[in-house]
Structure 1
Amino acid sequence: MPSQAASFLAPIALLLASNVFMTFAWYGHLKFPKAPLWIVVFASWAIALFEYWLAVPANRIGHQVYSAAQLKTIQEVITLAVFAAFSVLYLGESLRWNHLAGFALIVLASWLIFLD
Structure 2
Amino acid sequence: MPIRHLAPIALLIGSNVFMTFAWYGHLKFTDRPLWAVILVSWGIAFFEYCLQVPANRIGYGVYNPAQLKTIQEIITLVVFMAFSVFYLGAQVRWNHLVGFALIVAAAFFIFYE
Q: Which TM class, normalised by the smaller chain length?
A: over 0.9
2:5 is equivalent to residue 8 of structure 1: yes
Instruction: Percent identity, please.
Output: 68
Tell me which residue corresponds to 2:62.
65
2:78 is equivalent to residue 46 of structure 1: no
Q: Which residue identity does 1:95 align to in structure 2?
A: V
> How many angstroms apart in 2 are the aligned matches of 1:18 and 1:48?
9
Greater than 6 Å deviation, 4+ residue runs: none
TM-score when normalising by structure 1: 0.95
Query: How many residues in Structure 1 have an aligned counterpart in Structure 2?
Result: 113
User: Pairwise mapping of residues 1-116 of structure 1 onto structure 2 (< 5 A)?
Assistant: 5-116=2-113
> How many angstroms apart in 2 are the aligned matches of 1:107 and 1:42?
34
> How many angstroms apart in 2 are the aligned matches of 1:110 and 1:36?
40
CA positional deviation for 1:29: 0.3
CA positional deviation for 1:98: 0.5
Task: Indicate the RMSD between aligned Cα atoms, in angstroms.
Answer: 0.9
Q: Tell me, which stretches of 5 or more residues in structure 2 are unaligned?
A: none
SS of the equivalent of 1:93 reads coil
